[in-house]
Amino acid sequence: MLKLENVVAGYGRTRILNGVSMNVPSGGLVALLGGNGTGKSTTLKSIVGLVAVQQGQVELNGNAINAVPAEERVAHGLSLVPQGKEVFSAMSVEENLLMGAFHRRRDRKMIAEDLEGIYGRFRRLKERRRVDAGLLSGGERQMLSIGRSLMARPSVLLLDEPSAALAPRVVEEIAEAILNLRSLGLTLLLVEQNVGMALDIADYIYVIRGGRIAYEREVGSGIAMEELQEFYLGAERH
Amino acid sequence: MKMSICALPVIAGLAIAPLGLGGYELSVLMTILFYVILTLGLDLVTGYCGQFSFATGAFYGIGAYTAAIMSRDLGTSIWWHLPAGALVAGSFGLLLGIPALRLTGHFLAIVTIAFQTIMYLAISQWTSFTGGQVGLHVESAGKLAVFGTTLFELGSLRSYYWLTLGVTTVCVLAAWRLVNSRLGKEWVAIRDDETLASAIGLNTTRGKLTAFVAYAALAGIAGVLTAHSLRGVTPDDFTIWISATVVAMMMLGGRGTFIGPIIGAVVLAIVPEFLGRYAEYKMLIYGTILVIGMTLVPEGVIGRLRRSASR
């Protein structure tokens, strides 16, 4: 479904990714783990075209998409839920959700149905549909951010640290919401620092360190936390 | 709909104003209308799209000089100058929009100041084309004739005022349509978070460039109207002071609020008329209002009222 082959990317002359290779199968939930500054967000940005891929290839459904502009990748089925619970703060909740369906302008009936679907999934958003998004709580903003991405009707949803800076109870809610997304048949790539949450919901994990995949393993195949720590933190085994 | 209901009595009042007002009052009203167009244009690019510009005076001048040069070389009337002024200024707006694709905030503001300075130097130094510091004479606006029958003579102050009011109304409606269109939503998304706008599939390049073109075209139209109103153009009519004044008008009213910049334009355009012999200090007053306003009410008067209402 989504495949990265030796992707090298960065900002200007600064190289962040030094040959990342990953595979996210159709309908799978894959987690990309790693510490700060290891290249997790850059990996997602290079997939959606916000960071140019300098070498290597990003493939979606077997087709290379390196040359596809960022604004067209949404129409190809890729949607990013950015880090930081980003919303358009001057717009209402509903306007934010509709922005997610911006490229589907001729699809009015379906857009209305999808909007109701989002409200069904995230009831608090329905209650606050007329409220400016800038006034929402952290958890509500995260729900809105996910809802807006779903409005694009993606086939692959990329989530960048959805649990960051949220209370434990809200993290549980978000984790449950992400698991529920699988019922929509979505392919999910989750970037996380919260290892516990990732191991709870993902099928497969990758650990990135220094812009390279340092570890990968199927969840449930007996991941040793000690081993994971070593790759995650770069700690030496004694 | 709500806006048109509120606007109708205002437009009707302005339309019948010449019946009871003298020449001086009409001139003041026309100056206000010019500033309304300029401020609305700046609000599109800065208030809605988040791209700072201090080059309003330059686009205003480009429109005015387009009218003056066409009038001198081609003998055309204002009916040709209005679309031509919008087109020429809009083209320069596209040119200035290109650096905006790579620059933001202060850096973009510096580039627009440089553009304003270059345009001022060009029109003041290119004497053979622009008349230099002396400027150019502009013929009367002409008349509106259909198949040789004159419907509307624009030679008098009163008829020219009505034309200015009509063009301003069209500009306000066009700006209103723009900010409520899909493009307007794109502009707001770019202003709020450009990276996020790209991530959800918006073409931010197109969004920024269209905002600059719309802004410059509106300033160009205001320039054409001003050139025919003054019956002449000189470089000193289009300096960075104009740009600063328009920024102050927008900030006072509230950028990105549509009605706010219009109110800001009306208030700050009227203020000098009440200053009498102190009018020469108007830039000092504008500057003070800008500093105090930005410190105490950074979102402008209407922005603050709106925010209070939404809580």
Residue B143 has pLDDT above 70, yes or no: no
How confident is the model over A102-123, as a mean pLDDT? 88
Specify the DSSP class assigned to residue A236.
Answer: P
User: In this structure, are residues B56 and B242 in contact, taking their beta carbons and an 8 Å threshold?
Assistant: yes
Q: What is the mean pLDDT of chain B?
A: 89
Q: Is A234 helix (H, G, I), strand (E, B) or coil?
A: coil
How confident is the model over B44-64, as a mean pLDDT? 96
Q: How confident is the model at residue B144 (pLDDT cuts 50, 70, 90)?
A: low
Domain containing residue B144: CATH number = 1.10.3470
Question: Chain A, 132-161: which have a CB under 8 Å from a chain B CB?
Answer: 132, 135, 148-149, 152
How confident is the model over A149-163, as a mean pLDDT? 91
Mean pLDDT check: name the lowest of A122-136, B145-159, B196-210: B145-159
User: In this structure, are residues A139 and A174 in contact, taking their beta carbons and an 8 Å threshold?
Assistant: yes
How confident is the model over A198-211, as a mean pLDDT? 89
Domains (range + CATH), chain A: 2-84+154-233 (3.40.50.300)
Residue A237 has pLDDT above 50, yes or no: no
**Alpha carbon distance B66, B89 (integer Å):** 9
- Give the model's pLDDT for residue A55: 92
Of A75, A82, A88, the CB nearest to B189: A88
How confident is the model over A60-65, as a mean pLDDT? 90
Specify the DSSP class assigned to residue A33.
Answer: E
Instruction: Identify the sign of the CA torsion B262, B267, B268, B273.
Output: positive
Question: Do residue B204 and residue A90 have CB atoms under 8 angstroms apart?
Answer: no
Residue A123 has pLDDT above 60, yes or no: yes
Please choose, from the candidates A209, A217, A233, the residue with its C-alpha nearest in 3D space to the C-alpha of residue A20: A209
Q: How confident is the model at residue A170 (pLDDT cuts 50, 70, 90)?
A: confident
How confident is the model over B276-287, as a mean pLDDT? 80
Q: How confident is the model at residue B285 (pLDDT cuts 50, 70, 90)?
A: confident
How confident is the model over A1-13, as a mean pLDDT? 90
**Count of alpha carbons within 13 Å of B268, Cβ hemisphere only?**
32
Q: Tokens 């510096």 belong to which residue?
A: B110
- Give the model's pLDDT for residue B199: 86
Of B182, B199, B311, the CB nearest to A50: B199
Q: Which domain holds residue B289?
A: 2-310
Give this prediction's pTM: 0.85
- Give the model's pLDDT for residue B310: 63
The rounded percent of chain B whose pLDDT value lies above 90 is: 62
User: In this structure, are residues B96 and B82 in contact, taking their beta carbons and an 8 Å threshold?
Assistant: no
How confident is the model over B16-31, as a mean pLDDT? 89
Question: Do residue B202 and residue A71 have CB atoms under 8 angstroms apart?
Answer: yes
Mean pLDDT check: name the lowest of A155-169, A182-196, B156-170, B277-291: B277-291
Of A75, A86, A89, the CB nearest to B201: A75
Residue A145 has pLDDT above 80, yes or no: yes
The rounded percent of chain A whose pLDDT value lies above 70 is: 93
Using only C-alpha atoms, what is the Rg of chain A? 18
Residue B63 has pLDDT above 70, yes or no: yes
As beta bridge partners, residue A20 has A7
Please choose, from the candidates A48, A119, A131, the residue with its C-alpha nearest in 3D space to the C-alpha of residue A83: A48
Please choose, from the candidates B255, B243, B235, B245, the residue with its C-alpha nearest in 3D space to the C-alpha of residue B301: B255
How confident is the model over A96-110, as a mean pLDDT? 87
How confident is the model over A169-182, as a mean pLDDT? 82
Question: Do residue B201 and residue A132 have CB atoms under 8 angstroms apart?
Answer: no
Q: Tokens 């939930």 belong to which residue?
A: A29
Question: Chain B, 186-215: which have a CB under 8 Å from a chain A CB?
Answer: 186, 188-189, 191-193, 195-196, 198-204
Question: Chain B, 249-288: which have a CB under 8 Å from a chain A CB?
Answer: 256
- A89 contact residues in B (CB cutoff 8 A): 192
- A87 contact residues in B (CB cutoff 8 A): 196
Residue B271 has pLDDT above 80, yes or no: yes
Residue A238 has pLDDT above 50, yes or no: no
pLDDT in tens, B85-136: 999 999 999 999 998 888 878 889 899 999 999 999 999 999 999 999 999 9
- Measured between CB atoms, does B140 come within 8 Å of chain A? no
- Give the model's pLDDT for residue B157: 85
Best of B196, B198, B200 to substitute, by most chain A Cβ atoms within 10 angstroms, is: B200
Best of A73, A102, A106 to substitute, by most chain B Cβ atoms within 10 angstroms, is: A102
Question: Do residue B192 and residue A91 have CB atoms under 8 angstroms apart?
Answer: yes
**Alpha carbon distance A149, A174 (integer Å):** 14
**Alpha carbon distance A175, A197 (integer Å):** 7
- A51 contact residues in B (CB cutoff 8 A): none
Query: Greater confidence, A220 or A237?
Result: A220
- Give the model's pLDDT for residue B273: 81
Number of domains in chain B: 1
User: In this structure, are residues A144 and A127 in contact, taking their beta carbons and an 8 Å threshold?
Assistant: no
pLDDT in tens, B152-185: 667 788 889 999 999 999 999 999 999 999 999 9
- Measured between CB atoms, does A50 come within 8 Å of chain B? yes
Residue B250 has pLDDT above 70, yes or no: yes
Of A49, A72, A99, the CB nearest to B200: A99
Spell out the SS3 assignment of A37-85. CCCHHHHHHHHHCCCCEEEEEEEECCEECCCCCHHHHCCCCEEEECCCC
- Give the model's pLDDT for residue B147: 65
Q: Which tokens belong to B192?
A: 């709020």
User: In this structure, are residues B27 and B157 in contact, taking their beta carbons and an 8 Å threshold?
Assistant: yes
Q: How confident is the model at residue B33 (pLDDT cuts 50, 70, 90)?
A: very high
Question: Do residue B182 and residue A102 have CB atoms under 8 angstroms apart?
Answer: yes
Question: Do residue B188 and residue A105 have CB atoms under 8 angstroms apart?
Answer: no
Q: What share of chain B is helix, strand, coil (3-state, %, to 5)?
A: 80, 5, 15
Q: Which tokens belong to B84?
A: 């031509």
Q: Which tokens belong to B77?
A: 């009337």
